[in-house]
Amino acid sequence: MRIKNIIGGAACVALLSACNMDYHEYANYEKDYLAQSYDEVIGLVTNIYNELDYDFGQVYGGGMLASACDEAEYAYTSGDVCDFTNGSWSPSNPLSNTWTTSYRAIQECNQYLQEFQGLTFDELKQNDDYEARMFRYNNSFYEVRLLRAYFYFNLIRCYGAVPFFTEMVTVDNVNSLTRTPAQEVFSFIEEECAELATLLPEDYTDLGLLGISPAESGRLTSYAALALKARAALYAASPLFNESNDQELWHKAAQANKELIDACVAGDFKLGTYAALWGTTNWQNSEMIFMRRYVNSKDASGASSVLEEYNYPIGITGGGSGNCPSQNLVDAYEMQATGLGINEAGSGYDPENPYEGRDPRFSMTVVKNGDTGWPSYNTAPIQTFYGGTNGEPISGATPTGYYLKKYLDPAVDLRANSTVKSSRHTWITFRLGEFYLNYAEAVFRYLGSADATSAEFPMSAREAASVTRTRSDVNMPEFPTGMSNDAFWAKYQNERMVELAFEGHRFYDLRRWKEGDKLKSITEMKLTQNADGTITYTRNEVSRTWDDKMYFFPIPQTEIMKNPNLTQNEGW
């Protein structure tokens, strides 16, 4: 099996104790002690894996980045995630932990690469699994290099130009580093990934080494290296980082995403059903390239009910509401019969029955008024209308008229006498569907139209953007031929919003496209139940705070104060 989820829970020795870029060197005896133990050395790598990001609400007190863009609204205006949209975001309130977490992990990577190579673990040579252990150890240096590249990508995505170093940084010079231009760091990431794709295994379970399976599932593969290269190339070509619209950057992005798609097709990756993208076994899905398991200190398997507690509807025992899908997102789901948007002539949309005949991904992502069996132990229909069991004016009730379904496990029962208290949740880091969309965007920008092809790029943007629509449980019409560039771009953005909803992309997509004005407001749907039981639907526009400085995050003020050479992002 080619599975890529992270196996967490192993106790590890931390390399750094600080939560900023300050570096604390090992005393020699500590390093020597660690090097004597195979388990301790491999534990250092596990520790770095555990720094990988996921967005189940753990950073913003239950809020997801979906609620910081136009996908959703957080039900509690005092929530940390609301600071992204209410004007409270600042260098002294930088919100994200990306800076501190990423640099801590990069320091760990650099030290591991510099100080822990060349070990032989002689005491293990008589063990039957010695060859497998040494493979894992030697391969770990490729994994750590790819992890380092991934953390640098996360930094650029948030901050643009950032301090860049690939060796251990001492306490004497860590706070004198300047910022390296984003394109230079992107180039490093792409070159590093290209090399690592030739060094990392495609599949750890097929190596024929005793002890490799199943314990080696969840580690970075050659496909993950190609995926990071492809995503980085797309960002590098996007308007936020490619102000001159350099066509060669779009060319490289199309090449990188095609390379990954071709490799995945050859490796028997395939798109299955949309509903199988999440759930307790989603890490086994044939579409998954790399995943990050939710880490729960109380359960080594990662089983938890936190996501359900945050997002089950108010009015359900144990439900706390939370990230409520916006009407903006709901409007993005087209009509299944026609493939047209609800505002397009001839779509078949009925405003009196607004949810009938929509893209099936809508019902798999969003809980709406009248839904039954959500979650499984709830025997009453969901009522999001004013005065309803799950509606306003109850504190914490959805302000948008909807609740979140995607990623949640309806089998988790939050009642006191329940025997199903938790579920395994695994965050999607890379999956094949994203890269068909990435390729569509890049080849469209490079070749100049949705239908254009070339000897190098025989699959058109239109064809690639249609792939995610043809799943057996989605069955949406493909993109039509002959679309104007503006029409294709609008439909492509819509498809990307729908397909990747709540997977952490939209927040960054609007930034890399420099379309932040779309974050100036959000639409809610207010439902009123009439005397005859019918529902009146009223749209409500809510203003949000947006300033172009928000294309990049503010560097934490504490870092600016420590390092006189570290300039703040413009406007902050």
Query: Using one digit for the tens of pLDDT, what is the confidence trace for 430-445?
Result: 999 999 999 999 999 9
Whether the pLDDT of residue 572 is over 60: the answer is yes
Q: Taking residues 471-491, report their average pLDDT.
A: 98
Question: What is the per-residue pLDDT for 25?
Answer: 37
Query: Using one digit for the tens of pLDDT, what is the confidence trace for 314-334?
Result: 999 999 999 999 999 999 999
Beta carbons of 70 and 506 less than 8 angstroms apart: yes
**Exposed/middle/buried for 552, CB within 10 Å: 0-12, 13-18, 19+?**
buried
Query: Using one digit for the tens of pLDDT, what is the confidence trace for 47-95?
Result: 999 999 999 998 999 999 999 999 999 999 999 999 999 999 999 999 9
Beta strands in 412-534 (DSSP E): 423-424, 426-431, 521-529
Whether the pLDDT of residue 171 is over 80: the answer is no
Question: What is the per-residue pLDDT for 11?
Answer: 26
Q: Taking residues 344-367, report their average pLDDT.
A: 97
Handedness of CA 526, 528, 534, 538 (dihedral sign): negative
Q: What is the pTM of this model?
A: 0.93
Q: How many CB atoms lie within 10 A of CB 520?
A: 13
Q: Taking residues 236-247, report their average pLDDT.
A: 98
**Exposed/middle/buried for 452, CB within 10 Å: 0-12, 13-18, 19+?**
middle
How confident is residue 299, by pLDDT bands cut at 50, 70 and 90? low
Q: How many CB atoms lie within 10 A of CB 272?
A: 16
Whether the pLDDT of residue 24 is over 60: the answer is no
What is the pairing mode between strands 521-529 and 535-543?
A: antiparallel
Whether the pLDDT of residue 388 is over 60: the answer is yes
Question: What is the per-residue pLDDT for 215?
Answer: 58
Question: What is the per-residue pLDDT for 7?
Answer: 28
Q: How many CB atoms lie within 10 A of CB 393?
A: 7
**Exposed/middle/buried for 270, CB within 10 Å: 0-12, 13-18, 19+?**
exposed
Q: Distance between CA 6 and CA 147 in Å, rounded? A: 13
Whether the pLDDT of residue 36 is over 90: the answer is no
How confident is residue 254, by pLDDT bands cut at 50, 70 and 90? very high
Q: Taking residues 541-570, report their average pLDDT.
A: 96
The percent of residues in the chain predicted with pLDDT above 70, rounded, is 91
Distances (CA, A) of 560 to 324, 557, 564: 35, 5, 7
Whether the pLDDT of residue 10 is over 90: the answer is no
Phi and psi torsions of 316, nearest 5°: -95, 135
Q: Taking residues 467-490, report their average pLDDT.
A: 98
Beta carbons of 41 and 13 less than 8 angstroms apart: no
Question: What is the per-residue pLDDT for 33?
Answer: 59
Whether the pLDDT of residue 456 is over 70: the answer is yes
Mean pLDDT of the chain: 91
Question: What is the per-residue pLDDT for 486?
Answer: 98
Q: Taking residues 474-503, report their average pLDDT.
A: 98
**Torsion region of 208: left, alpha or beta (phi above 0 gives left; psi -120 to 50 gives alpha):** left
Question: What is the per-residue pLDDT for 34?
Answer: 59
Q: Which two tokens stand for residue 52?
A: 């990988």
Phi and psi torsions of 52, nearest 5°: -60, 150
How confident is residue 411, by pLDDT bands cut at 50, 70 and 90? very high
How confident is residue 543, by pLDDT bands cut at 50, 70 and 90? very high
Handedness of CA 53, 56, 57, 58 (dihedral sign): negative
Domains of the chain and any CATH numbers: 28-59+96-297 (1.25.40.390)
Q: Taking residues 393-413, report their average pLDDT.
A: 97
Question: What is the per-residue pLDDT for 213?
Answer: 61
Whether the pLDDT of residue 385 is over 60: the answer is yes
Whether the pLDDT of residue 22 is over 70: the answer is no
Handedness of CA 491, 494, 498, 500 (dihedral sign): positive
Lookup result for tokens 């990988």: 52
Question: What is the per-residue pLDDT for 208?
Answer: 72
Residues 6+ apart with CB under 8 A from 263: 222, 223, 226
Q: Cα angle at 560 between 558 and 563, to 5 degrees?
A: 110
Question: What is the per-residue pLDDT for 207?
Answer: 78
Query: Using one digit for the tens of pLDDT, what is the confidence trace for 213-234?
Result: 655 668 999 999 999 999 999 9
Question: What is the per-residue pLDDT for 13?
Answer: 27
